[in-house]
Amino acid sequence: MRAIVISSPGGPEVLTHTELPDPHPAEGEVLVRVRAFGLNHAETYLRSGAWGEVAEVTGIECAGEVLQDPSGRLAAGTAVVALLGGMGRTRNGSYAEQVTVPASNVLPVQTTLSWAELAAVPEVYATAWSALHGNLALRPGETVLVRGATSSLGRAAVDLARDHGATVLATTRDAARAGLLREFGADRVLVDDGQLASQVRELGLAVDAVLDIVGNSVLRDSLATVRPRGRVCQLGFLGGLAPVDAFNPLTDLPSGVQLSFFGSAFVLGTPEFPLTAIPFDTILAKIAAGRLRAEPARVFDFAEIVEAHRVMASGTALGKLVVTVD
């Protein structure tokens, strides 16, 4: 089969096309014919070596068809999405024509979406839904601030929070992108200068919850942005992986404010965080009906993987990038 491998840790240019033997599913696995896969920032860390030794073939999600399920649960030809389950980290991932995935990380879907449209959904919508409904327990009518909203994950979070009936504040570092975020569904856009807490106070806003995709570099400010007894969920590291220097709960964690973390790559598909808890069919139906806006920002061919990673690294995509496997 055709596959894309990490020839050595480094930039986009280390992604190399090659031929690998077709994989075979073991018990508890499903063999999937990959039709398209989404790109994720996690794959830049896997590619660069920032997460240490990883699988030769990267990629943490895909859309495609079942080729073989030893358990008999899924018939050959069934349309599925597959995500995480160690793909790209401890086992070869989705940048290939075929991939084996733990059965708990494969879901059958019924949708009229194209493969490219479907591949834009699994990881970001599963992660955003889990953080909004699980960690933050967001309720209709509450105000949520999505920090890092122009990312593909941020866009999904804005989309889902708006559909849920929340008031959505979205942030960007570039004021020129404010109109785009309003098109995504944000009620108000703030330009993130690293001091959102002071902006929120000056505007007289009350923020019930913060979904922080920027990460450690702004954690203290995010904690100061929510109202007393508000909630903060961190689920990304767009601002870099450096740890929070000298973090002290006594001085940095406001009394009553709840702080949590959601690491989707490590838990989704486990018994504690089953994919079946996420209403994928409902999400896909809303996308098909135009209630949710999950269309890819750009679609690349399999041969264009290096360019696709360059666009992702540039931060100019403003949405989900997808690669089709013809």
User: Residue 127: its pLDDT value, please?
Assistant: 97
User: Which positions ≥6 away from 248 have C-beta within 8 Å?
Assistant: none
| Spatial separation of the C-alpha atoms in residues 11 and 195, rounded to whole Å | 31
| pTM metric for this prediction | 0.95
User: Residue 39: its pLDDT value, please?
Assistant: 97
Domain co-membership, 20 together with 95: yes
Question: Do the domain assignments include residue 274?
Answer: no
User: Residue 308: its pLDDT value, please?
Assistant: 97
| Alpha-helix runs per DSSP H in the chain | 41-48, 115-119, 122-130, 152-163, 178-184, 196-203, 219-225, 249-252, 264-267, 280-289, 305-314
Domain co-membership, 256 together with 129: yes
| Spatial separation of the C-alpha atoms in residues 90 and 111, rounded to whole Å | 30
| Spatial separation of the C-alpha atoms in residues 57 and 52, rounded to whole Å | 14
Ramachandran area for residue 84 (φ above 0: left; ψ -120 to 50: alpha; else beta): left
User: Residue 51: its pLDDT value, please?
Assistant: 87
Tally of domains in the chain: 2
Last residue of a domain, one of 215, 243, 264: 264
Question: Do the domain assignments include residue 44?
Answer: yes
- Mean pLDDT for back-to-back runs of 10 residues, the chain (326 residues): 97 98 98 98 93 95 98 98 97 98 97 97 98 98 97 95 98 93 94 95 96 96 97 92 92 96 94 96 96 96 98 90 95
| Spatial separation of the C-alpha atoms in residues 280 and 277, rounded to whole Å | 9
Q: Which domain holds residue 130?
A: 123-264
Domain co-membership, 67 together with 91: yes
User: Residue 240: its pLDDT value, please?
Assistant: 86
Domain co-membership, 115 together with 153: no
Domain co-membership, 172 together with 62: no
Q: How far is CA 26 from the centre of its chain?
A: 27
- Domain of residue 116, CATH code: 3.90.180.10
